[in-house]
Amino acid sequence: MTEGEARDLLRRWPGGGGLEDWIANRRWQATPDGWNVTGELQGRRFKIEVIAEGLRVSGYAAGGAPAVWTVTI
């Protein structure tokens, strides 16, 4: 999946109250398995990984377990 396809998928995703749209509109830095999202929202940093079903989005906060969800194709 290309970065453009990933951004489009996030923008079209109906869940999350706009969080996916916020992620889609940020700058991304490529990693071997996806992208790191620049900046943070309410103390969380985000990572996007390409998986067979679509995208795995992880939100990390200092000292806490990550919030992880799947955005499907």
The DSSP H or E segment spanning 5 is helix 3-12
pLDDT recorded at residue 17: 72
pLDDT recorded at residue 46: 97
Distances (CA, A) of 28 to 2, 64, 65: 12, 23, 22
pLDDT recorded at residue 12: 93
The tens place of each residue's pLDDT in the chain, 73 residues long, gives 999 999 999 999 987 678 999 999 999 999 999 999 999 998 999 999 999 999 999 999 988 889 999 999 8
Dihedrals φ, ψ of 13, to 5°?
-65, 130
Tell me the pTM: 0.89
